[in-house]
Structure 1
Amino acid sequence: MLRRNFIRMLGSTVLIWPALATGQTKKKIWRVAYLYPGSLANPADHAVFDVFRAEMKRLGYLEGQNLVIDDRSAEGKLERLPAFLTELIGLNPDVIVAITTPAIAAAQRATATIPIIMAPATDPIGSGFIKSFSHPGANITGMANMMGDSVGKAVELLHTIVPSAKRIAVLTSNNPTHPEQYQLAKIAANTLGLSAVQVAAPTPDDLEAAFETMKQESCEALLVLGDVTRPTIPGLAAKIKLPAVYQSGPFMPLGALASYHPKIEEIYVKVAQYVDRIFKGANPADYPVEQPVVFELGVNLKTAAALGVTIPDSVLARADRIIE
């Protein structure tokens, strides 16, 4: 009788022990380094960050439980990016989400082993980030934004809204893709019989001087190339009554007249899905780069009224977003 009881107890112990061991296994906590050359203090940019976080949550990653997101913003000062990357890499991230070309380039210089997700890149092949869209070839994959393909349409939109404007300023920054983007804008402008004037503002501190240059150059309209959000731009444009089209959606709630760009929310949903796939073992070298399929046209009627600009019905009919 005692022997049978001992065997039952031993059997129960064998059954219980694996359960105890499983309960004591440490749960994996995934870590994302999120690097933005602009400022997440800007509500429109933080809203994009929240789209990424919401998709991560939908995919089963809960901040404070099995996910940590370490974010850093350079406030438009690109020289800060290397130090931020040193700091972020020291936290042992499983993946780096690099926002726009300057951050991607800095991340590429900082590590050849940690997976990097482009979020997004303007010219990933020309910038040397990937070998091809189908086979990136190293530790970088993610989203391209097709900004080069949409520059011409942005110039056409500006011409349609302000057909009397013959001299167009093209605002550039220290973004390394801007020289090529300006050339594309210049070609598109010349095709329409317009003159394009490059006006450089390398850092946010240079913007006031840049808008003074636009006045001195007698510019009648403005194209703001795709870049990090610099929140003072719409106000400076309004101050000198300069109609402007932007290649970035977060400028719209800040008072932009109009914008044409890939739908940013779609891109950041995809970025989160890239992160999920990397967590699940995907190799960035073989994980194809995607391009946006949804573009968005935005119009701000309040800004139009303040500038004395009448938005053509043809533009309103195509607008995906209208702010009144």
Structure 2
Amino acid sequence: MKVNKIFVAFAVLLVCVLGYGFFSSKKGEETKKVDNKEVKVGVLQLLSHPALDQIYKGLEDGLKKEGYEVGKNLKIDLQNAQGDQSNLASMGQKLVTDNNDILVGITTPATLSLSNATKDKPIIMGGITYPVEAGLIKAEDKPGNNITGVSDRTPIKQQLEIMKKVLPNMKKVGILYTASEDNAVKQAQEAEKLAKELGLEVKVSTVANTNDIQQVTESLASQTDAIFVPIDNTIASAMATVVKVTDAKKIPVFPSADTMVADGGLLGLGVDQYQIGVETAKVVAKVLKGADTKDMPIVLANEGVIYLNEAKAKQLGIEIPKEIKDKAKVVDKK
């Protein structure tokens, strides 16, 4: 009897030891951390405005979730060109010569500058609408070079269809964009084609820089029922100027980014800039862990989120259909 008790006690002890070992092993797998060796990430940003700043914030937060934290095992070298093309070139070269392990371009111009500076060091795109057309990669499913990343492309036809539901009497739509921004040009061309297919009369206006925005917007708003704005960094940085003009004429603006809706647009089927940064961080982490950019498909960060500025709708006296309002994410500025 005594022997049996000893045997049972031994068996229980053995099970506990083995169970603890198994649990510890599983726990170790779940909390796996990256190497504590410091990683250097060089980031080139075109300019400062809420949309691009949100991408950077999402990138930093996303890297932390992936196990890379500033002050511990991560150093981020952020270079902001403040909209100056010559700054982009020199800053891109600096990020390469400063021996960063990996580079991130926020916007197409920034990524192009990095691409011109190196064909070897991995470059991750943070929110590039048309990377193939911009000449950055060969194909979205297989880039074929040292560049991969995240696209912020949105479904423009769906956006225009939503605009028609919100404004059933809309006949004329304006398209406002910056002539020098490749992404904006491509989206504007697509929007013009699709709008005409939907039976709308289209008026297209372009700006060269922020100095043109007030005058161009005044002219466009006087000729249209609504204005569509694609992903456009120049317009985004001066939304206050745009909406000051359009509000005076009671013309709603339909942008393509959440921050632009919050800055005075009415509604947009657009991109969550912060989430683009988070998705970019995931790509950065994969490359740091050994993935090859040549074979990494481009990530489409958004599936078309509806962003609504309820305060703007009320100000303009526009009633948003329930089917749209129920799906929308309200982004009024507090």
TM-score by length of 1: 0.83
User: What are the residue-to-residue correspondences of 1:177-196 with 2, within 5 Å?
Assistant: 177-196=183-202
Residues 133-169 of structure 1 show CA distances to partners (whole Å, capped at 9, x for unaligned) of 332111001112333xx11122222222223232211
User: What are the residue-to-residue correspondences of 1:291-310 with 2, within 5 Å?
Assistant: 291-310=300-319
Q: Which amino acid in the other structure matches residue 110 of structure 2?
A: A
Residue 62 of structure 1 and its aligned partner are, at CA, apart by: 1.7
Residue 47 of structure 2 is aligned to residue 38 of structure 1 = yes
1:65 aligned residue (57, 69, 72): 72
1:246 corresponds to: 255
Q: Which amino acid in the other structure matches residue 165 of structure 1?
A: M
2:276 corresponds to: 267
Change (3 A) 1:196 1:80: farther
Contact 1:76 1:204 in 2 (8 A): no
Whole-angstrom CA distance in 1 between matches of 2:189 and 2:47: 24
Residue 82 of structure 1 and its aligned partner are, at CA, apart by: 0.9
Whole-angstrom CA distance in 2 between matches of 1:231 and 1:211: 14
How many residue pairs are counted as aligned between the two chains? 294
Q: Which amino acid in the other structure matches residue 115 of structure 1?
A: P
Residue 245 of structure 1 and its aligned partner are, at CA, apart by: 0.8
Identical aligned pairs, as a percentage? 27
Whole-angstrom CA distance in 2 between matches of 1:234 and 1:275: 34
Contact 2:214 2:241 in 1 (8 A): no
Whole-angstrom CA distance in 2 between matches of 1:128 and 1:231: 25
User: What are the residue-to-residue correspondences of 1:78-227 with 2, within 5 Å?
Assistant: 78-147=85-154, 150-173=155-178, 174-215=180-221, 218-227=223-232
Residue 79 of structure 1 and its aligned partner are, at CA, apart by: 4.3
1:16 corresponds to: none
1:323 corresponds to: 332
Q: Which amino acid in the other structure matches residue 167 of structure 1?
A: K
Change (3 A) 1:76 1:222: farther
1:56 corresponds to: 63
Ranges of 4+ aligned residues in structure 1 off by more than 4 Å: none
Whole-angstrom CA distance in 2 between matches of 1:261 and 1:73: 24
Whole-angstrom CA distance in 2 between matches of 1:133 and 1:119: 14
Q: Which amino acid in the other structure matches residue 63 of structure 2?
A: M
Q: Which amino acid in the other structure matches residue 201 of structure 1?
A: V
Whole-angstrom CA distance in 2 between matches of 1:88 and 1:199: 36
Residue 297 of structure 1 and its aligned partner are, at CA, apart by: 0.4
Residues 227-279 of structure 1 show CA distances to partners (whole Å, capped at 9, x for unaligned) of 22624324422433320111111213322211112333332222111111221
